[in-house]
Chain A
Amino acid sequence: MATADLERDPFYLRYYTGHQGMHGHEFLEFEYSHGRIRYANNSNYRNDSLIRKEMFIGPAVVEELKRIVRESEITKEDDVAWPKKNVVGKQELEVRIDKEHISFETAKIGSLADVNESSDAEGLRVFYYLVQDLKCFIFSLITLHFKIKPSEFPFACLDESDVS
């Protein structure tokens, strides 16, 4: 697939995690669409900072993104039995791939213990790990492309911590 073909490719991916709290609306979101990744991260805790980044990726990166999504088999899952969003916040994952379209919403997941307590632990686990793998990929791309120092961008791949 050439770069121009990405314009016609319907593959779409969006992830959001955030909450409204005493520091306002704090969130992290990334979206892939038509060759472009957009990223936004708003954390008001220590300093008022909204980071927005946008980058265009080549076909090989897009294919890898798709492979990660496909191999997770997330489109076979259903969020009906997952924990509902709450005061702590929510997560959203929307994917359009291979004639499938999912749009999931669930509470923030602190750890695997939260996953295991769910009545659909297996499905939620798929979601949990896919989100980790996607974040890792997107953050690696942003870190390398923009040379954001870890201090400004404290969400490294091996860091379990979330936006809040």
Chain B
Amino acid sequence: MADVDMASEVNGAGHSWAAKSVEGWIIIVTGLNEETTEEDLQDLFGDYGEVKNLSMALNRRTGYVMGYALIEFPEKEQAEKAIKGTDGTEFLEKTIKTDFAFAKAPAGGRSRAPVSSSGPRRGGRDREASPGRR
């Protein structure tokens, strides 16, 4: 597997950073036409493998497509082919972008979070007035 990752890295399409989710590989597609339907996406991505899950959000204000969708494939290879085949292409008159959604934890893990946000803050505390008003 390591050899495969290295080879694809050389080709500029390395996805060694991508992380597997519990049941498969999730990719994100962005830049969708606001009238895209789930069927449109099923048709597009179904060519690369079995789409196990497809989640496309609607804009809460307008009711139109938010612009992104999350798609799950069982195998990494299928997800990679889907990315390669669709990223930067035109779909329903819009240029879409496709990539893996999740990444592996960086080496060194938790240390890279800034101290100022080193843990979810609890409610009920006093807080300062909002900064940055202008």
Contact = CB atoms under 8 A, between A and B. Distances in A.
B99 A38 contact: no
B36 to A, nearest CB: 15
Interface in A135-160: 136-137, 140-141, 143-147, 157
B19 interface: yes
A105 B130 contact: yes
A72 to B, nearest CB: 9
B102 A58 contact: yes
Contacts of A12: 117
B41 interface: no
Interface of A: 3, 7, 12, 14, 16, 18-20, 25, 27, 29, 31, 33-36, 38, 40, 55-61, 63-64, 67-68, 75, 78-80, 89-90, 92, 100-105, 129, 132-133, 136-137, 140-141, 143-147, 157
Nearest to B104: A56
A144 to B, nearest CB: 5
Contact of A55 (B18, B97, B102, B121): B102
A114 B30 CA distance: 32
A61 B28 contact: yes
Contact of A7 (B57, B106, B123): B106
Given A56-B103, A104-B130, A133 B28 contact: no
Interface of B: 17-19, 21-23, 26, 28, 30, 53, 55, 57-61, 66-68, 70, 72, 97-106, 112-114, 117, 120-124, 127, 130-133
Nearest to A79: B130
A93 to B, nearest CB: 10
Contacts of B22: 145-147
Nearest to B60: A132
Contacts of A140: 55, 57, 70
23 contacts: A3-B106, A7-B106, A14-B117, A36-B113, A55-B102, A57-B101, A57-B102, A60-B101, A61-B28, A61-B102, A64-B30, A75-B132, A80-B133, A90-B123, A100-B132, A102-B130, A103-B132, A104-B130, A136-B66, A140-B55, A144-B53, A144-B55, A144-B72
